[in-house]
């Protein structure tokens, strides 16, 4: 049997090849079994398209926007191997993206700056730009090209793991707030994958998923799948439902039973910005995401400002007082 992965990547996997080669050299296109065209568009950017003319979806799967979030990287590396081996037969167009290879090599969340604040079409281009800025510009261009093609549904799953504990272990952030049928369908699907909570947000942000939602016409999600661990220490059993869900979504084998698990829904009601160097958060630094507070609790204090809980059910997300002045230090959410 043809070893298609070897024809494209030699003895390496997609991940190993991406880390070892900072530009694409040699063969970059291949027709694999089941008439599936595979093209390496660039470093860590693999386009997989079943040939034929039936209407299909375009699914973007991205990992390693934060380089140390290893479980999703392992998941998609295995997925790519399974596709090459014919164990998974994609029925939809896929773009599989390893977003920040240099940060993976450095065993680090980022090399110079948080890439998930850099997916903005308004990002200027300067000679002093960080690796992350150069890379995010390329990824935005690839993503636009990918989603420019006509598709029944355009979907983006950006896979992460979180630094801190979470009251809901697996959750999604959804920048699409239009409540379309496709979005609702995806919410049901994610519930089935074991995603416990979904947070909708219309806050303008420059995350990868917000970029594809706002500028590529995609239904997009940032998926937080558990806690950050080093390579080799992830128990992929913890991710079994998500892995199965992805495999089914790719191979068009989706069935959502009437009694599927339903993710709880939240929305963002506020963001607290760090205004001065005096800024501090008023709760323990190891607190879990989705922790609920009481009315009147002080959550953050700054030079001339305090954030008090105003309404019942307010919970916190992504607290980080070590951000730069002017950046978001805390997100406040409530159940829908
Ligand atoms: Zn992340």
The pLDDT of residue 252 is 87
**Of residues 69, 132, 224, 314, which has the active-site annotation?**
224
The pLDDT of residue 163 is 81
Q: One digit per residue, pLDDT tens: the chain, 336 residues?
A: 579 999 999 999 999 999 999 987 767 999 999 999 999 999 999 999 999 877 699 999 999 999 999 999 999 999 999 999 999 999 999 999 999 999 999 999 999 999 999 999 998 889 899 999 999 999 999 999 999 999 999 999 999 998 889 999 999 999 998 788 999 999 999 999 999 999 998 877 899 999 999 999 999 999 999 989 999 999 888 899 999 999 999 998 888 888 888 899 999 999 999 999 999 999 998 999 999 999 999 999 999 999 999 999 999 999 999 888 998 899 999 998
The pLDDT of residue 1 is 58
Spatial distance between the Cα atoms of 194 and 284, rounded to a whole number of angstroms = 28
CATH topology of domain 270-335: OB fold (Dihydrolipoamide Acetyltransferase, E2P) (2.40.50)
The pLDDT of residue 188 is 93
Boundaries of CATH 2.40.50.630 in the chain? 270-335
- Give me ligand 1 centre to Cα 54, in Å: 35
- Give me ligand 1 centre to Cα 171, in Å: 12
Neighbours of ion ligand 1 (CB under 5 A): 66, 69, 160
Count the residues in the chain: 336
Half-sphere exposure (Cβ direction) of 70: Cα atoms closer than 13 Å: 15
- Give me ligand 1 centre to Cα 50, in Å: 30
Close Cβ partners of 25 (under 8 Å, ≥ 6 residues apart)? none
- Give me ligand 1 centre to Cα 136, in Å: 15
- Give me ligand 1 centre to Cα 89, in Å: 28
Q: How do strand 171-174 and strand 154-162 relate by DSSP bridges?
A: unpaired
Tell me phi and psi for residue 40, to 5 degrees: -90, 105
Bridge partner list, 315: 292, 333
Q: Which residue has the tokens 């929305």?
A: 267
The pLDDT of residue 260 is 80
Active site residue 294: no
Boundaries of CATH 3.40.630.10 in the chain? 4-250
The pLDDT of residue 53 is 74
- Give me ligand 1 centre to Cα 65, in Å: 6
The pLDDT of residue 177 is 81
Spatial distance between the Cα atoms of 19 and 224, rounded to a whole number of angstroms = 23
- Give me ligand 1 centre to Cα 159, in Å: 8
Provide the whole-model pTM. 0.94
- Give me ligand 1 centre to Cα 117, in Å: 11
The pLDDT of residue 44 is 97
As separate numbers, helices (DSSP H) first and strands (DSSP E) second, the chain gives 8, 15
The pLDDT of residue 193 is 93
- Give me ligand 1 centre to Cα 173, in Å: 12
Residue 226 in contact with residue 159, Cβ under 8 Å? no
Nearest to 197 by CA among 300, 333, 324: 333
How would DSSP label each residue in 92-130? SEEEEEE--HHHHHTTSS-SSS-GGG---TT----TT--
Spatial distance between the Cα atoms of 328 and 185, rounded to a whole number of angstroms = 31
The pLDDT of residue 55 is 67
The pLDDT of residue 259 is 82
Close Cβ partners of 233 (under 8 Å, ≥ 6 residues apart)? 70
- Give me ligand 1 centre to Cα 265, in Å: 21
Query: If you classify domain 4-250 with CATH, what class do you get?
Result: alpha beta
- Give me ligand 1 centre to Cα 46, in Å: 21
How many Å from the N-terminal Cα to the C-terminal Cα in the chain?
Answer: 52
């Amino acid at each position: 049997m043809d070893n298609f992965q070897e024809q494209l990547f030699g003895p390496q996997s997609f991940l190993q090849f991406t880390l070892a080669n900072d530009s694409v050299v040699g063969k970059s296109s291949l027709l694999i079994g089941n008439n599936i065209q595979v093209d390496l568009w660039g470093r860590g950017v693999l386009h997989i398209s079943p040939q034929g003319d039936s209407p299909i979806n375009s699914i973007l799967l991205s990992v390693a926007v934060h380089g140390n979030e290893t479980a999703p990287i392992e998941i998609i590396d295995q997925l790519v191997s399974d596709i090459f081996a014919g164990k998974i037969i994609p029925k939809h167009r896929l773009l599989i993206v390893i977003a920040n290879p240099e940060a993976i090599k450095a065993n680090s969340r980022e090399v110079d700056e948080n890439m998930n604040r850099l997916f903005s079409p308004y990002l200027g281009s300067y000679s002093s730009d960080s690796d992350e800025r150069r890379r995010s510009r390329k990824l935005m261009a690839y993503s636009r090209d990918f989603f420019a093609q006509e598709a029944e549904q355009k979907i983006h799953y950006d896979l992460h793991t979180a630094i801190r504990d979470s009251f809901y272990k697996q959750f999604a952030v959804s920048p699409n707030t239009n409540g379309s049928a496709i979005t609702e369908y995806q919410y049901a699907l994610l519930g089935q994958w074991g995603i416990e909570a979904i947070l909708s947000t219309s806050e303008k942000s420059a995350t990868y998923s917000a970029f594809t939602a706002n500028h590529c016409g995609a239904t997009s999600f940032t998926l937080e799948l558990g806690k950050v661990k080093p390579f080799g220490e992830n128990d992929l059993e913890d991710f079994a439902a998500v892995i199965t869900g992805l495999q089914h979504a790719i191979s068009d084998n989706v069935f959502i039973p009437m009694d599927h698990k339903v993710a709880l829904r939240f929305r963002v009601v506020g963001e607290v910005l760090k205004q001065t160097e005096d800024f501090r958060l008023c709760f323990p630094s190891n607190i879990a995401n989705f922790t609920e507070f009481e009315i009147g609790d002080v959550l953050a204090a700054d030079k001339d400002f305090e954030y008090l809980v105003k309404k019942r059910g307010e919970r916190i997300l992504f607290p980080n007082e070590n951000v730069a002045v002017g950046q978001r230090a805390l997100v406040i959410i409530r159940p829908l």
